[in-house]
Amino acid sequence: MGLNADVLIRSVLFVAVFLIVWVSLHPFSSLADPPSETTEAGNRANQIGFSLAFVVLATWAWFNECGRLKPLLRPALVVMFAWFVLTAVTSWDPGLSVRRFAFTLIVMALASIMLLLPKSLRHFADLLTVLAGIILAVCYLGVLLAPSVSVHQFTDFLEPEHAGSWRGLFAHKNQAGAIMVILVFIGLFVARVRSVAIGGAIVVLAGIFLVCSHSKTSIAMLPLVLLVSAVLVAVRQPLVQGVVAFGILLAINLFSVGAAIFPQVQSALELVIPDPTFTGRTDIWQFSLDQLARHPITGYGFSAFWGTEQVVYGLASGFTWATAATDAHNAYLNTALTTGLPGLLLAVLWIVILPLRDFQRLALDGPESALSILFLRVWLFGIYASSFESTLFQQVGEVWFILIVAVFGLRLLSTSRVTA
């Protein structure tokens, strides 16, 4: 009886926290009205909800081997946090930066504790199956029963050109597309660990929704990540793995942000893709690079640039419409802009370089290899998709949360063995 109660508590906490992050506290939002929430004010409901979740999970972890999380506090993470504190203190809005940094710590703590909740590999697969089933059911029911708040409409206040694209319970088609890619990875994991039929159903349903979301980045990234992950699993030479994984990341950024720097890249893109501006992103990237050149060391403060009065009003005159953007649409550029080039280097070390090193330490000959590959795929998708979206260090980001879980998961797997 005690064991059943323990499993039940772990299961409820796992699914509940993921639903808070992915479903959010305000799903199926209407896009017909102009945005009313300002970045300065924040979202009180999210702050309260995530704080309560942190208290509950931290209390549970205190009595359930929280010492297993010690390997996560690696030097690179500690130094990165220290630098972020410095950028928050020197921010042009210290109060905003400190609040957002504290919230980021809460989200990252939740992601780390989530890895303690599954009792076994099969239990982890079961929990992900339930989670995927809930997300897919809610999204499909929304499209069928309430399309006005789950499918982009011509009446959307912003971006009416996305009319007809499915977004489900999410606020934007790109968010929906990204989560559907993650669900495809989960389906492949479930098919290998628990049930081919159930896993296959998750893959098919998520794939259909992904296509209907018209999320170009996610649709393109899915086959790329599956191919790269297959190469990294098959070829175990660290040098080759690094060249493949990081070479593709550099190439993506060269042919994206590079278009705002090198005219030759812009000209080459005009020959091969219909929209070489990446739906206007090149203007935002150019503006971001210009502003970064003014504060290259500490940036403008942790998570304190876009949406602030200094940008929206102070820089509006003489600059493009990019001052009204919500982020840099490139996580690496966004990180440099808010925490400086040292902050970017530390973030790349912790998020991009060290996870591959952790994966290289893993033996892929046991039952836990399926979990290693799941984390690998999520990690690859996260770092590649970050070239077009500001995924890293978001306040509440669906991909950011599962990316942290994958980064922490690879670290724990590399220092211990999963109970099969």
281 within some domain: yes
Residues spanned by the domain of 180: 1-29+43-53+121-214
Structural domain ending residue among the three candidates 214, 235, 270: 214
**Does one domain contain both 353 and 320?**
yes
Q: Tell me the per-residue pLDDT of 209-256, one tens digit each, with 9 for 90 and over.
A: 999 999 999 999 999 999 999 999 999 899 999 999 999 999 999 888
| Chain mean pLDDT for the chain | 87
d(CA 242, CA 415): 20
238 within some domain: yes
d(CA 287, CA 264): 19
Check residue 304 and give its pLDDT: 85
Structural domain ending residue among the three candidates 172, 191, 214: 214
61 within some domain: no
**Does one domain contain both 383 and 370?**
yes
**Does one domain contain both 243 and 391?**
yes
393 within some domain: yes
**Does one domain contain both 320 and 418?**
yes
Structural domain ending residue among the three candidates 192, 214, 236: 214
Check residue 321 and give its pLDDT: 58
d(CA 106, CA 120): 25
| Highest-pLDDT range among 38-47, 288-297, 340-349 | 340-349
Q: Tell me the per-residue pLDDT of 319-372, one tens digit each, with 9 for 90 and over.
A: 555 666 677 788 999 999 999 999 999 999 999 999 999 999 998 877 789 999
d(CA 311, CA 313): 6
d(CA 172, CA 164): 12
Q: Tell me the per-residue pLDDT of 73-90, one tens digit each, with 9 for 90 and over.
A: 999 999 999 999 999 999
**Does one domain contain both 220 and 156?**
no
151: three-class secondary structure by DSSP: strand
Q: Are 211 and 181 in contact (CB under 8 A)?
A: no
Q: Are 5 and 145 in contact (CB under 8 A)?
A: no
**Does one domain contain both 173 and 47?**
yes
**Does one domain contain both 418 and 335?**
yes
Check residue 82 and give its pLDDT: 96
58 within some domain: no
Lowest-confidence pick of 12-16, 26-30, 319-323: 319-323
**Does one domain contain both 48 and 197?**
yes
Could you tell me the CA-to-CA distances from 312 to 41, 89, 164, 260, 304 in Å, in that order?
15, 22, 31, 21, 12
Check residue 2 and give its pLDDT: 47
Structurally, how many domains does the chain consist of? 2
d(CA 266, CA 258): 8
193 within some domain: yes
68 within some domain: no
Check residue 390 and give its pLDDT: 83
Rounded to two decimals, what is the model's pTM? Answer: 0.91
Check residue 317 and give its pLDDT: 52
Check residue 334 and give its pLDDT: 92
Check residue 305 and give its pLDDT: 79
**Does one domain contain both 284 and 395?**
yes
**Does one domain contain both 309 and 333?**
yes
**Does one domain contain both 237 and 369?**
yes
Check residue 417 and give its pLDDT: 52
**Does one domain contain both 161 and 133?**
yes
* Burial profile 46-58: b = 16 or more Cβ within 10 angstroms, e = fewer: bbebbeebbeebe
